[in-house]
C-alpha cells in the first residue's frame, strides 16, 4: 500500500465518521422534537409550534447527508441476480457502466435540485409556521447530490485503475 492510498483511506474513514456523527445528531434531534411534540400535544394540549416543519427539514438533511456516505461505502441498492452469471470481464464492464450511469443520474438530480432552489429563492419560499427559508435546503441537497455523483465517478476510475 502506498502512502497516498493510506492517506486517502484515513480521509475516507474520517469523512464517514463525520457523516455518521452528523446524521446521528440530526436523528436524535428529530426523535427529541417528535417526543416533545407528541407529549405536548396529548398531555398538555399544546403541540410544539413548527415541529413538523423542523422534522421535515431534518429528514431531508439526514437523507441527503447520507447519500455521499452510501456512495463512499458502495451501499446503494443493487440486484445481481443476472450479473453473477456473467463472466468476470463482462461483470467489470457492466459495473463500470452502471457506475457511470449512476453518477450521471446523481448529477442530473443535483442540477434539478439546484434549479428548484433557484425557483424557491425567486419567490422567497419560506416554511408556513416558522418562516424559515427553504431555498438553502434545496441548494444544500443539490450540493450533497453532486458530491455523491463525484464520489461515484471517482470510484469508477479507481476500480478501473486497480483492475488494469
Cell numbers at 24, concatenated: 446521528
State the pLDDT at residue 1.
Answer: 45
Domain ranges for the chain, please list them: 3-163
Residue 55 above 90 pLDDT?
yes
Give the whole-angstrom CA distance, residue 152 versus residue 137.
23
Other CB atoms within a 10 A radius of the CB of residue 137 amount to 20
pLDDT tens column, 58-102: 999 999 998 888 888 776 666 666 666 666 677 777 778 888 998
Nearest to 131, CA basis, from 27, 69, 49, 29? 49
State the pLDDT at residue 29.
Answer: 95
State the pLDDT at residue 76.
Answer: 63
pLDDT bucket at 161, cuts 50 / 70 / 90: low
Nearest to 66, CA basis, from 24, 116, 108? 24
State the pLDDT at residue 20.
Answer: 87
Amino acid at each position: 500500500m502506498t502512502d497516498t492510498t493510506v492517506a486517502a483511506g484515513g480521509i475516507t474513514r474520517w469523512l464517514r465518521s463525520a457523516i455518521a456523527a452528523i446524521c446521528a445528531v440530526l436523528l436524535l434531534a428529530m426523535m427529541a422534537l417528535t417526543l416533545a411534540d407528541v407529549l405536548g400535544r396529548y398531555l398538555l394540549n399544546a403541540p410544539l409550534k413548527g415541529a413538523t416543519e423542523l422534522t421535515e427539514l431534518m429528514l431531508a438533511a439526514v437523507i441527503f447527508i447520507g447519500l455521499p456516505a452510501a456512495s463512499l461505502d458502495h451501499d446503494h441498492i443493487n440486484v445481481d441476480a443476472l450479473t453473477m452469471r456473467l463472466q468476470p470481464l463482462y461483470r467489470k464492464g457492466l459495473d463500470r457502466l452502471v457506475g457511470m450511469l449512476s453518477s450521471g443520474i446523481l448529477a442530473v438530480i443535483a442540477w434539478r435540485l439546484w434549479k428548484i432552489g433557484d425557483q424557491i429563492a425567486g419567490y422567497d419560499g419560506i416554511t408556513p409556521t416558522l418562516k424559515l427559508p427553504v431555498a438553502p435546503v434545496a441548494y444544500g441537497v443539490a450540493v450533497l447530490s453532486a458530491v455523491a455523483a463525484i464520489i461515484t465517478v471517482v470510484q469508477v476510475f479507481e476500480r478501473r485503475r486497480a483492475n488494469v
